[in-house]
Amino acid sequence: MMNVLHRSNASRFGGFAFRSFRHAFPGTRCVSIAVVALLTSMLCAGRSYAESRHLGGDRVHLDAAETIDGDLFCAGNSIVVSGTVTGDLFAIGESIEIDGKIGGSVHLLGRSAEVDAEIGGSLRAALGESLTIGGGTIGRDLNASTSTLVVRRGTVISGGIGAAARRADIDADVTDTTRLIVARGSLGGRFGGPVEIEQVAMGGNVAETGMTIDPEAVLEGDLKVRGGREPDRQEGSTIRGTVDYQRPAAVPAVGRSWLRTLLASWVQFAIAGILFRVLFPTRSRHAIRNFGARPLRVVVFGPLFLILLVLVGAAVVAGCAALATGLGLVGLAEPIPMLIVIALLAIAMIWCGGLLAASWVAPTLFAGWLARTLLGWLPGFRREAMLLPIIAGSLIMAAIASLPTVGFFLWGAIALFGSGVFLVGAVPPVAKTPAVGNSPRGYERIR
């Protein structure tokens, strides 16, 4: 028994489609959002609700004897459309099967679909696992995003093909241009327009790519292949246009790429450390000393510094908002825009400045202390030295941050716990003074 599709079910469409497409193309979040937004806009477009039929439930089945005059919207776990739809068909489900007659276009969102139908318009699909077209006709274009695309012999596509898939095997009669983004696949049948293929190496392994031109394939136009391996053109295939194969761009050596990253990071850390040293000479000197004199306090105060950063920014915004509200109550509305500008500038300076100090300056000062500790026996790295320790420390920090996988996390940990030096560094560290003659050992503040 078919149920009426309630409006609450529509709220699940976007999430279900997003998960399905991400299952087919892991790591392509922006592309997933774009495809789902495009197809969702098509779902929302079209004729009015009065000219459409809505069917939903665990199993949706339109018998071959049934006819829907207008558009048909289906949502369910299993969808089978064997009847006739004079308008467009919109289907969202785990398993979709269409073998009827559709007067308009077909839009599919789900996990897998099998189509062997007479479609007057276009077929558009975003599927997590597979799209299989076993025959029939498509009056306009085929647009698909899926993991496996199979178009079997006997299928007639009066328009063109635009598809992205891990594997695409197409053996059909295609009238217009064919554009594919695939890792592997094959071409058979007849292609009336040019064929453009971009081979994408999954995981960067070019050996896993490859397109085969079957013996019965007839390409009336040009064949252009970019990336991956050179297509395997089997004996008997016909290409009446030109064949243009562009090899994948050479990937720079890992060592060379890492060295460029290291140098760029070194310059950034060095600029942050030297600029802080020039602007705040006393505080920078105290900060480097406190890494060695008060390490426990620095670590404890690190998270507190970030918490205070958020609270101070929020307090500034709340104060400006309260002042603006008070001025509005007494009828003084003219200063309110200025207060808004002040609040935005203040929070930008506090939060952005604080995050830059925690992310770049604190790690550089920590690495400067480390460099001065390890290289204190060298000229220029002794007790009061600042410039060379900062330059050497920025190189140490750049090397840590450039480590594959773990570098980012080490950098984040140093920034999180090292930023406490900005709170501890307000007070110069205590240093022991050696005893002179018979006088007792004393203590003094480092100036």
pLDDT, tens digit, for every residue of 419-438?
A: 888 888 555 555 544 544 45
Residue with token string 């609270």: 311
pLDDT value of residue 404: 82
Which pLDDT belongs to residue 334? 66
Q: Which residues of the chain have pLDDT under 70?
A: 1-52, 202-207, 249-256, 327-336, 339, 383-384, 425-447
**Contact call for residues 105 and 86 (beta carbons, < 8 A):** no
**Dihedral sign for Cα atoms in the order 389, 390, 391, 397:** positive
What is the per-residue pLDDT for 403?
Answer: 86
- Residue 313: predicted pLDDT: 79
Distance from C-alpha of 86 to C-alpha of 67, rounded to nearest angstrom? 8
Predicted confidence at residue 98, as pLDDT, reads 95
Query: What is the model's pLDDT at position 7?
Result: 38
* Helix, strand, coil content of the chain in percent (nearest 5): 40, 30, 25
Is the distance from CB of 327 to CB of 441 less than 8 angstroms? Answer: no
Residues 6+ apart with CB under 8 A from 106: 88, 89, 91, 98, 115, 117, 119, 121, 122, 123, 124, 125
Q: Which residues 6+ apart lie within 8 Å of 338 measured at CB?
A: none
Q: Residue 265: name the closest of 86, 411, 62, 421 by CA.
A: 411
Q: Which residues contact 99 (CB under 8 A, 6 or more apart)?
A: 81, 82, 114, 115, 116, 117, 136
What pLDDT was estimated at residue 306? 86
64-108 confidence digits (pLDDT tens): 999 999 999 999 999 999 999 999 999 999 999 999 999 999 999
pLDDT at 352: 83
* Inter-axis angle of helices 387-401 and 254-279, nearest 10: 140
Continuous H helices in 280-335: 281-293, 295-329
Would you say the C-alpha torsion 321, 325, 328, 330 has a positive or negative sign? negative
DSSP bridge partners of 431: 444
**Residue 253: what pLDDT?**
52
Sign (positive or negative) of CA dihedral 434, 439, 444, 446: negative
Cα separation, 254 vs 416, whole angstroms: 29
Indicate the SS3 state at residue 125. strand
